Every structure is written in C-alpha cells, then in structure tokens.
Amino acid sequence: MNVFFFLFSSIIILSSIAVISSRNPVHSVLFLILAFVNAAGIFVLAGAEFLAMILLIVYVGAVAVLFLFVVMMLNISLEEIKQQVKKYFVSGILVGGILLAELIFSFTNLDIITVRSDETHEAANKLSNTHEIGKVMYTDYFFIFQISGCILLVAMIGAIALTLRKREGVLRQNISNQLDRRKENTLEIVKIRKN
C-alpha cells in the first residue's frame, strides 16, 4: 500500500513541476491530466472511489474543454495544429506510457489495494461511499449544489458566446425572415401542358 502511495505521489509532484515549467501549453495540459489521474489513484487508496471517478470525469473533462476554448479564443488554425502533431506525439506517448504502466502495476496488485481499503471501509460504515456522499449532497447541501450547477451552466454559455465568430460564406438561419415569409413569395405553381 505504501508503495502505491509513494508511486502516485512522486508522479504527481513531478508532473505538477512539469506543468508550471513547460513552455508549451499542450505539454502543460498533458502533464496536468497525468497529475489528476495519479491523484485519483491516491483517492482509490484512501477508499474514496467515488471522489476518484469524479476527479477523472469532471477535472480531466474540464481541462480538455478548457483547452479547447483556449484554442478557439487564440484563433489557432487547424493547419498549425496539424503541423505540430509530431512535437506533441512524443509527450503524449510519454504520458500515455506512464499511465499504462501504472494501470498494469495496479491491476496486477489489485488484491493488495482492495482488501485493506474495503475492510476499513466496511468496518466504518455499511453504506457505500457513493450513497453517503449522495445523501449528504442532496439533503444538506442541495440548494448550494443546484446554484453551483447554474453558475457552471452560465459560465459555459458565456464561453461559447465569447468564442462564437461570424464567418463569411457560411449559411445561417434568420428566424425572423423565416417566420415572415408568405406562400406567394416562396411557391410558384406551374401548369404542365399535356402533349
């Protein structure tokens, strides 16, 4: 158990240093994702598997979406991204290799991780971790939880509105023109003569 903790924590420290020292934003994002995945591994060791999955789903997904918005706001063309794929390929392979090695190492020693955390978890409480968090979140903190969801929704709509640009040559709908059109202006009845 201590081996896994020191493995995950040392990779978190190294990847967090790489996040702030890397000059390339793509490399920083990859190292940040690596740090989040290893932090999720520490949550699994602590018996908080729900928090580990939330960390992976929410934060890794949010980092990917945030990076997408940054690329959209900086107006980086797709041709430049395609030309720099070779530079990002090496760091992507490095991060992916570390994650694959951790997964293989974790699943080969799965009995060491799960037995101890399950014993302490079941001794503390018979309800699952997810059930306990859901009970607290949707009873005691329901109003705050809903407000935070609304704030995130407004932030997402604002980011989309800021990055939306009108391009020439792109067909767009004009709803007021569609609603104001009449049958006489859009249809033409043609009578075909029979031979």
Do 158 and 75 share a structural domain? no
Residue 186 included in any domain: no
Same domain, 138 and 152: yes
- Categorize the per-residue pLDDT at 154 as very low, low, confident or very high, splitting at 50, 70 and 90: very high
Better-scored residue on pLDDT, 101 or 10: 10
Of 161 and 111, the structure prediction assigns the larger pLDDT to: 161
Q: Are both 19 and 73 inside the same structural domain? A: yes
Q: H or E stretch including 83?
A: helix 78-83
Q: How many domains does the chain have?
A: 2
Q: Pick the range with the lowest mean pLDDT from 61-70, 108-117, 155-164, 174-183.
A: 108-117
User: Residue 151: pLDDT band by 50, 70, 90 thresholds?
Assistant: very high
pTM, rounded to two decimals:
0.51
Give the end-to-end CA distance of the chain in Å, rounded to a whole number. Answer: 91
- List the domain range (segments joined by +) for residue 142: 126-164
Taking 80 as the threshold, does the pLDDT of residue 14 lie above it? yes
Is residue 188 included in any domain, yes or no?
A: no
Residues sharing a CB contact under 8 Å with residue 52, sequence separation 6 or more, in sequence order: 40, 41, 43, 44
Q: Please tell me whether residues 72 and 144 are part of one structural domain.
A: no
The answer to whether residues 39 and 95 belong to one domain is yes
pLDDT averaged over the chain?
77
In a domain, 176, yes or no: no
77 and 132 in a single domain? The answer is: no
Higher pLDDT, 18 or 113: 18
Can you tell me the mean pLDDT for 28-41? 84
85 DSSP 8-state letter? H
For residues 57-69, average pLDDT:
75
